Amino acid sequence: MSISGAGPRRLHVITWGCQMNVYDSGRMADVLAPLGYAPSPVPEGADMVILNTCHIRDKAAEKVFSELGRLRRLKDRRAADGERMILAVAGCVAQAEGAEILARAPYVDIVLGPQTYHRLPEMVARAARAGGAVIETDFPPEDKFDFLPDSAAPQGITAFLTIQEGCDRFCSFCVVPYTRGAETSRPAAAVIAEARRLIGQGAREITLLGQNVNAWHGEAPDGSTWGLGRLLRELASLPDLWRLRYTTSHPRDMSEELIAAHRDLPILMPFLHLPVQSGSDRVLAAMNRRHNAADYLRLVEKLRNARPDIALSSDFIIGHPGETEADFRATLALVRSVGFAQAFSFKYSPRPGTPAAGAPAQVPNAEKERRLAELQALLRDQQARFNAACVGRFLPVLFTGPGRHCGQVAGRSPFLQPVHVTGPQELIGREISVAIRSALPNSLSGTRWPGQA
């Protein structure tokens, strides 16, 4: 198979997991575009299929193998027609279980970790030449961001921008420090340049991404080091940018400067995803979180002083090894005292190679399920109350696409709630004040403020 001068080729990417994987999938497509690969919405007929995988919880590898089984049939069918489909597994499952993937699915052509996707063209060339599989899961000495193309397909009105990757915090349960590697921050100039490019392509809202995004400490244009608060100030001054967000943050890395940015920058949206994981000091210590429940509550108070309308979101893990009923009750108490606008909660899932996976006192599954159900009922109730409290208010909504029903458009409120409005498609790309009329568990609907087009 030749890979150059062969006309357009079709690339299908399947993405699991976090927003950073969504960003990475886009960048992999950008890297392959000069080789003639154009996105295909379906795997049928694709010349290359990439599975961008997530290893954070649950049976991640099993999901990948079952998808691979399906794709193998397509690949075989293509081969019978004399065509080749290159099958690549990328992301954190590839990083953690690369050898296992090739042993169980030898028809996979490329296995690549999250830090090597800038080398994809070379890997594709090698896979096209060689019979065997190509595996690239080492952490390379070079920074992939230095090798990614400046050109990129537009992401749309809302765009993601990775500014930080990896993590040095080593929470007991988390695989990220092993799959994404040590914490790295992109220089401020590179971030600002990418933000300008995204805005030039029509982005009006940018979400800065990082596994521990508020640990960002990048080289400033003058050679000093900036923190995230300073970077946000700089980005807030870019013309034609209306909204800024960042995710995901660690409570220990919320600096005073960052809290002040919430006070001073109107374009920094009043919504913060700030995972606490547990409300029990004992469990927080076992998790190696390096903060206790009181620290978290103090931080929430500071944030609310800085930006009174700020809405909070969190992640919770239920049934971390050693969690007792009393620990669980402490989590419920913390949830009650904060009042979350939304949250994600998960049963603890042992990740091979992490400290908690081998810890004694694993919590039985039935117990985890019972506690999770109780926590989720409380969180659902808080989210419903938060949404209901928006009814009767005017909220600015940035419209991003068509709504669920014909004649509707959909967008996001400052608090990240999906909002549906009856109106013309021309509203997409605009930010308009909406009178909120009703609330569902996960979304709002409303009408345009009279007098607006």
Which CB sits closer to ligand 5AD, 324 or 408?
324
Instruction: Write down the least CB distance from residue 344 to ligand SF4, Å.
Output: 12
How far CA 47 is from CA of 7, 40, 78, in Å, comes to 12, 9, 9
Q: Which of 49, 51, 56, 410 binds ligand 5AD (CB under 6 A)?
A: 56
Residue 293 Cβ, how far from ligand SF4 at the closest point, in Å? Answer: 17
Q: From CA 333, how far away is CA 316, in angstroms rounded?
A: 13
Task: Name which of 57 and 380 has its Cβ closer to ligand 5AD.
Answer: 57
Q: Which two tokens stand for residue 315?
A: 């992640």
Would you say 181 or 322 has its CB closer to ligand SF4? 181
Nearest to 149 by CA among 98, 180, 194: 194
Partner whose binding site includes residue 403, from ligand SF4, ligand 5AD, none (CB under 5 to 8 Å by kind): none
The residue with tokens 């810890």 is 359
Residue from 9, 204, 351, 371 touching ligand 5AD (CB under 6 A): that is 351
When asked if residue 348 is in the footprint of ligand 5AD (CB under 6 A), the reply is: yes
Least spacing, CB of residue 56 vs ligand 5AD, in Å: 5
Q: Which helix (H) or strand (E) holds 286?
A: helix 281-286
Give the whole-angstrom CA distance, residue 21 versus residue 19: 5
CA–CA separation, 363 and 321 (whole Å): 6
Dihedral (CA of 202, 205, 210, 216) sign: positive
Bridge partners of 273? 313
Whose CA is closest to 134, among 184, 169, 98, 168?
Answer: 98
Q: What is the CA radius of gyration of the chain?
A: 23
Q: Which stretch binds ligand 5AD (CB under 6 A): 60-68, 226-234, 330-338, 343-351?
A: 343-351
**Shortest reach from residue 417's CB to ligand 5AD, in Å:** 20
Q: Determine phi and psi for 394, rounding to 5 degrees.
A: -100, 130
User: Cβ 210 to ligand SF4, closest distance in Å?
Assistant: 9
Choose the contact partner of 349 out of ligand 5AD, ligand SF4, none; CB within 5 to 8 A by kind: ligand 5AD
Residue number, 291 or 371, with CB nearest to ligand SF4: 291
CB of 351 or CB of 420, closer to ligand SF4: 351
Residues 6+ apart with CB under 8 A from 228: 208, 213, 214, 216, 217, 246, 255, 257, 258, 261
* Residue 354 CB, nearest approach to ligand 5AD (Å): 7
Looking at the Cβ atoms of 54 and 171, the one nearer to ligand SF4 is 171
Give the SS3 label for residue 39.
strand
Residues 234-293 that bind ligand 5AD (CB under 6 A): 275, 277
Q: Which residues lie closer than 8 Å to 398 by C-beta, 6 or more apart?
A: 157, 158, 204, 205, 242, 243, 411, 412, 430, 431
Where on the chain is the footprint of ligand SF4 (CB under 6 A)?
A: 167, 169-171, 174, 176-177, 211-212, 250
Interface residue with ligand 5AD among 173, 246, 296, 415 (CB under 6 A) is: 173
Q: Which of 19, 201, 288, 349 binds ligand 5AD (CB under 6 A)?
A: 349
Q: Does 422 bind ligand 5AD (CB under 6 A)?
A: no
For ligand SF4, the closer of residues 290 and 298 by Cβ is 290
Whose Cβ is closer to ligand 5AD: residue 57's or residue 196's? 57
Distance CA 326, CA 107 (A): 50
Binding site for ligand 5AD (CB under 6 A): 56-57, 173-174, 275, 277, 315, 317, 346, 348-349, 351
